[in-house]
Chains A and B, each alone.
Chain A
């Protein structure tokens, strides 16, 4: 149970709610034209994303945190995977841009029909535009 929900129920003194978290699957995302515009914008993505940006874990500027430059801590190193049930309201993002694990996170076990990457999203958008659905 998410921490904010647990806090709310504790505050209300209620313990008899049926609680369910609905999976947030990327394949269920509606294809807003703005998303396509952003994906095509060179100020957002200048190169094909999946292959060229395999690991985009956040790092700190090590030169500003230590006297001598040292390898910066990466989120991948400091954020071990947590079970979904332990995820707090903060809902920290996955450690790396490993798309398969990202889909697993969104969709639980049902990941086989999720698009593979941003290109797949783009392809779906193009198809829908061709079909006149957008």
Chain B
């Protein structure tokens, strides 16, 4: 059950968008996927065609009270992951998620405590980076104490890339050079993402030809392959 953390050191990098559509793309590719909103902002659901007033099931709600949209089981985890019992369970080496699915966690930029608690249990941390001066400057804050280039199990994604913008284009090239294979791709700026939320629709339904959608689907394929459990000898045969 790979746990994938989506966390950016800078707010506004599109972490919730990446988490939501990563989970949806994994589900589309035939994987079981659960998306957990661990933010107080509670905006992950908006990418699932829900409205701000809609409530999604708590992480601890029974399975039969779940909500599945776009093939993704959707949960609100802010309360549960900030309860003392959650930290205790992690301290005891338990990860209180179950099942054989990908679990994609959306973590707020300033919630580094939760990020640090979950990191040892995660298969991968996905870091969306906005190709702006502030977005690049925030790269110094990804995981304090470890140089960015030395981080294990960390994949970077440039989000909202507009190649008509000079700095964004240069930042894209610079980050490719700096991060090498740790930069697994980019998602292009696409107004249809915003429009889909405003229409309370899923992006694939609102704009099937969306460039951002094609981008995140390609990235999800890469992430699924990186995170898939290694084949046993029997499976390989």
**B182 and A58 form a contact (CB under 8 A):** yes
Pick from B50-58, B109-117, B170-178, B194-202 the stretch touching chain A: B170-178
Interface size on A, residues (CB 8 A): 62
List the B side residues contacting A79 at CB < 8 Å.
222, 225
User: A123 at interface (Cβ–Cβ under 8 A)?
Assistant: no
| CA–CA, A123 and B209, complex, Å | 43
Closest 7 CB pairs of A and B: A90-B218, A97-B180, A4-B211, A7-B209, A46-B147, A57-B181, A70-B230
**A88 and B140 form a contact (CB under 8 A):** no
Chain B residues in the interface with A (C-beta under 8 A): 2-3, 121-124, 133, 136-137, 139-141, 144, 147-150, 152-155, 166-167, 169-170, 172-174, 176-188, 209-211, 214-219, 222, 225-230
**A60 and B218 form a contact (CB under 8 A):** no
Chain A residues in the interface with B (C-beta under 8 A): 3-4, 7-8, 10-11, 24-26, 28-30, 32, 34-35, 38-39, 41-47, 49, 53, 55-62, 64-66, 70-76, 78-79, 88-97, 99, 102, 106, 117-118, 121
With both chains docked as a complex, state the minimum distance between the C-beta of A50 and any C-beta of chain B, in angstroms.
10
**A66 and B215 form a contact (CB under 8 A):** no
Residue of B nearest to A59 (CB): B153
**A7 and B214 form a contact (CB under 8 A):** yes
**A61 and B185 form a contact (CB under 8 A):** no
**B185 and A92 form a contact (CB under 8 A):** yes
**A60 and B139 form a contact (CB under 8 A):** no
